[in-house]
Amino acid sequence: MSIEPFNKLVKLAARAFYDDITAKGDNQPKSGRSDNRGIAVVVLDALTRRQWVREEDLAKDLKLHLKQLRRTLRFFEEEKLVTRDHRKETAKGAKAYSAAVAATADNLPGRDGEEKIKLHTHSYCCLDYAQIHDVVRYRMQRMKKKLKDELDNKNTVQEYVCPKCGKRYNALDAIRLISFEDDSFHCESCNTELVAESDKLASQDIGDGDDNARRRRREKLRDLLQKMEAELKPLTDQLSRVKDLEAPDYGTLQAWELRASVVARASSSDPTGNDSNRSGQGGTPMPFLGETKVEVAFSGVEEKGEIKSENAPMKVLPPWMIKEGMNLTNEQRGVVKQESNMEGTSASMDMKDEKKLISQEDDAKNLQDEYVKAYYAAILQRQKEQEEATKREQDLSANSILTDVDPSSSRKRQRDDDGEDVEWEDTPTAGETFKVDLNVEAAELSGDEEDDDDGIDWEEG
Amino acid sequence: MFFHIVLERNMQLHPRHFGRDLREKLVSKLMKDVEGTCSGRHGFVVAITGIENVGKGLIRDGTGFVTFPVKYQCVVFRPFKGEILEAVVSMVNKMGFFAEAGPVQIFVSNHLIPDDMEFQSGDMPNYTTSDGSVKIQKDSEVRLKIIGTRVDATEIFCIGTIKDDFLGVISDPGTTS
Ligand SMILES: [Zn+2]
């Protein structure tokens, strides 16, 4: 989840499309002083540096009137760039938010002293990156399509307008508009002869109809299309850069607060927690990014002990292997057993031995199946534990944080497994080429099967 | 596009028709009532092809009229967006031209006529290419593509284009068709 490309996208889009949006109500007369064009860009930029933010705070930070900010935000909400959340909250609720903000470790000024609020409706806002991505793409697509359609006159419904009363018609009304006096179209209300509306995009100065005008219009459209493509190039580039990235998602306000507070507690009790906090990309604090703490689970003491006990019986394997991928150690142990068996027999294998080998492999498979079952059971238990952990918020020791982080750590371990497959193939000693190959294949197969079941079961099962 | 479908209608019949050929009267009245009408949902009813069944009549209080629910098979014609139709030009003006495909009226506005055809006013207003080889005027036959339909409860109106490959005049004297 990288936020920087998306922030860049937001900034580019803001400058491309919202540059001249005013945060003003339509009813107010426009004076030079209150001309606040560009405010939309400022607000969007500010939001890229924040996650969920209380609108009062944002207004204070930007030195904007709250009303003005709200108007802008409402506009962006309609534009689907921003998600907002409104809630009535007591001082406690406000505190939850403040705590969450504190956890983001990005000290925004002017947040203190807000705890005294009794029961007010507070609004929060946050960029909706995934949706922004879609909205911008859709907008570009529509712009291009409109121009292109007009350029090759495809599927466009000609519009007609009454020069006298301004009433508009389109080609679908044509049958009602023909007057039988002169075979041309007439306004239904004032009977003035209608004129075909020249394309909205091309300028109006061209008279209707004649061929020359059409050609000029097309040139104009082509120019416009080229210009658009050139000027929006940075935006399209950014879009393509962002295309396959996962959009940052802060979730709902509640979810975000919860995560933030969990991390905050973790960082207060666990020194490494701070580390992960600081590692939020692009200077943006991302308190909930648990993935960064993968290593913590690895260095667990009890795991190490287990590894050792496992390690003891099979000396053939170098310890650096077992340390990383647990499920593979299982197969390896099976393999090792077979290997040692085979070492006893002669180098040339007869059918009986082969059968025996197969049955051994079957045994190993059964064993693996057992482990898979145990693993899933363990996972289930883990999830329950996790839920409980998140539920009882107040008593979160560093330990429970570890379990919190565990899924990602297991993911990491899985990745290690993949790497290890290769390493492991090298391990067989040179002597037993053909048999070992068999084993390798079998183990590899089962390894593939178990690819998604990583070694956690070894700890529990 | 044509469809063969079953529709139902409640027919009111005057008591004077009650007799031996009640059924024939019913059917002929149905044809008169229904054929050539248009419903937004099913399109134009082109022809009734058969009677599925005639339900029990219900005598109306006071009038003596009897209402029969009649199920009938019919061919309907319903134009769709994107459909290619062949139509006869009925009127040409500087805004474009109107054409008829059976009961359907189609308007082709001038910006959906190929750019090399220009409007010529006069007794027989027409659109003609600069070399005069192709001419669209009243009674020309054109192949067009429907790009939009307006469907009301009782009428369907279409707009079309001839600005695409293989569209345009098909009754050209120069070509064999
Ligand atoms: Zn008018």
Same domain, A167 and A298: no
Q: Which amino acid is at B172?
A: D
Band the pLDDT of B97: cuts 50, 70, 90: very high
The answer as to whether A233 is a domain residue is: no
What is d(CA B68, CA B8) in angstroms, rounded to the nearest whole number? 10
**Which chain B residue lies closest to A177 (C-alpha atoms)?**
B95
Q: Is B112's CB within 8 Å of A153's CB?
A: yes
Same domain, A441 and A372: yes
The answer as to whether A270 is a domain residue is: yes
The answer as to whether B157 is a domain residue is: yes
Domain boundary at B59, B77, B95, which?
B77
* Option in A155, A160, A174 nearest B147 (CB): A155
Ligand 1 centre to CA of B120 (Å) is 26
The answer as to whether A231 is a domain residue is: no
Ligand 1 centre to CA of A169 (Å) is 10
What CATH number does the domain containing B131 carry? 2.40.50.140
Q: Is B148's CB within 8 Å of A209's CB?
A: no
Domain boundary at A84, A106, A135, which?
A135
Same domain, B90 and B163: yes
Ligand 1 centre to CA of A156 (Å) is 23
User: Running DSSP on this structure, what letter comes out for residue A314?
Assistant: -
Same domain, B102 and B144: yes
What is d(CA A408, CA A264) in angstroms, rounded to the nearest whole number? 19
* Interface contacts A/B by beta carbons within 8 Å: 63
Band the pLDDT of B119: cuts 50, 70, 90: very high
> Of all helices (H) and strands (E), which one includes residue B132?
none
The answer as to whether B177 is a domain residue is: no
The answer as to whether B176 is a domain residue is: no
Same domain, B26 and B98: no
Q: Which amino acid is at A69?
A: L
Same domain, A406 and A326: yes
Q: Does B65 touch chain A (CB under 8 A)?
A: no
Same domain, A303 and A198: no
What CATH number does the domain containing A87 carry? 1.10.10
What is d(CA B10, CA A244) in angstroms, rounded to the nearest whole number? 60
Q: What is the pLDDT of residue A289?
A: 45
Q: Is B150's CB within 8 Å of A211's CB?
A: no
The answer as to whether B138 is a domain residue is: yes
Q: Is A171's CB within 8 Å of B96's CB?
A: yes
A-chain CB neighbours of B94 within 8 Å are: 184, 209
What is d(CA A274, CA B79) in angstroms, rounded to the nearest whole number? 68
* Option in A172, A183, A184 nearest B159 (CB): A172
**Which chain A residue lies closest to B108 (C-alpha atoms)?**
A171
Q: Which residue has the tokens 């080229």?
A: A226
Question: Among candidates A328, A331, A401, which has minimal Cα distance to A363?
Answer: A331
Domain boundary at B27, B44, B77, which?
B77
Same domain, A304 and A394: yes
Tell me the per-residue pLDDT of B8-25, one tens digit each, with 9 for 90 and over. 999 999 999 888 989 999
Q: Is A196's CB within 8 Å of B110's CB?
A: yes
The answer as to whether A423 is a domain residue is: yes
**In chain B, alpha helices (H):** 22-34
Q: DSSP letters along A141-207, please?
A: HHHHHHHHHHHTT-SPPPEEE-TTT--EEEGGGHHHHB-TTTSSBB-TTT-PBPEEPPPSSS-TTSP
**In A63-128, alpha helices (H):** 66-78, 91-103
Q: Is A157's CB within 8 Å of B159's CB?
A: yes
Higher pLDDT, B177 or B172: B172
Same domain, A203 and A290: no
CB hemisphere CA count around B20 (13 angstroms): 0
User: Running DSSP on this structure, what letter comes out for residue B22?
Assistant: H
Task: Give the total number of structural domains in chain B.
Answer: 2
Same domain, B96 and B69: no
Same domain, A109 and A156: no
Task: Give the total number of structural domains in chain A.
Answer: 3
Same domain, B29 and B92: no
Same domain, B19 and B45: yes
Same domain, B47 and B7: yes
**Which chain A residue lies closest to B161 (C-alpha atoms)?**
A155
Domain boundary at B77, B95, B130, which?
B77
Higher pLDDT, A265 or B151: B151
State the maximum Cα–Cα separation within chain A, in Å, rounded to a whole number: 111
* Option in A171, A184, A196 nearest B159 (CB): A171
Band the pLDDT of B85: cuts 50, 70, 90: very high
State the residue range of the domain holding A178. Answer: 146-222
State the residue range of the domain holding B44. Answer: 2-77
Same domain, A303 and A432: yes
| E strand residue ranges, B55-103 | 58-59, 66-77, 84-93, 96-101
Band the pLDDT of B99: cuts 50, 70, 90: very high
Best residue in B92, B98, B109 for a mutation probing chain A (most A CBs within 10 Å): B109
Q: Which amino acid is at A274?
A: N
Q: What is the pLDDT of residue A180?
A: 73
Ligand 1 centre to CA of A167 (Å) is 6
Q: Does B152 touch chain A (CB under 8 A)?
A: no
Same domain, A98 and A177: no
Length of chain B: 177
Same domain, B59 and B99: no
Mean pLDDT of B117-121: 91
Q: What is the pLDDT of residue B48?
A: 94
Q: What is the pLDDT of residue A224?
A: 86
Ligand 1 centre to CA of A176 (Å) is 14
Same domain, A313 and A423: yes
Same domain, A77 and A19: yes
Q: Is A171's CB within 8 Å of B163's CB?
A: no
Same domain, B73 and B121: no
The answer as to whether A228 is a domain residue is: no
Same domain, A61 and A107: yes
Question: In this structure, what are the phi and psi dihedrals at residue A109, rounded to the nearest 5 degrees?
Answer: -75, 160
Ligand 1 centre to CA of B27 (Å) is 47
The answer as to whether A241 is a domain residue is: no
Same domain, B60 and B107: no
What CATH number does the domain containing A211 carry? 3.30.40
Same domain, B68 and B96: no
Q: Is B159's CB within 8 Å of A196's CB?
A: no
Ligand 1 centre to CA of B22 (Å) is 53
Question: Among candidates A299, A332, A291, which has minimal Cα distance to A315?
Answer: A332
Q: In what order do the strands lie in the sheet with A53-54?
A: A53-54, A120-127, A82-89
Q: For chain A, state the CA radius of gyration.
A: 34
The nearest CA of chain B is from the CA of A182 a distance in Å of 9
Q: Which residues contact A253 (CB under 8 A, 6 or more apart)?
A: A52, A85, A87, A97, A124, A126
One digit per residue, the tens of pLDDT, for chain A of length 461 reads 578 888 888 998 988 888 877 655 544 444 555 566 788 888 899 998 888 888 888 888 888 888 888 888 999 999 888 888 888 777 666 677 777 777 665 544 444 444 444 677 888 898 888 888 899 999 988 888 888 877 766 556 788 888 888 888 888 888 888 887 777 888 888 888 888 876 554 444 444 445 566 677 778 888 888 888 888 888 888 888 888 888 888 888 888 888 888 887 776 654 444 444 443 343 444 444 444 444 444 444 444 444 444 444 445 555 555 554 445 545 455 444 444 444 444 444 455 555 555 556 666 677 777 778 888 888 888 887 777 766 665 554 444 444 444 444 444 444 444 444 444 444 444 444 444 444 444 444 444 444 444 444 444 43
pTM over 0.95: no
The nearest CA of chain A is from the CA of B80 a distance in Å of 14
What CATH number does the domain containing B69 carry? 3.30.1490.120
Ligand 1 centre to CA of A192 (Å) is 5
Same domain, B69 and B100: no
The answer as to whether B26 is a domain residue is: yes
Q: Which residue has the tokens 């350029």?
A: A151
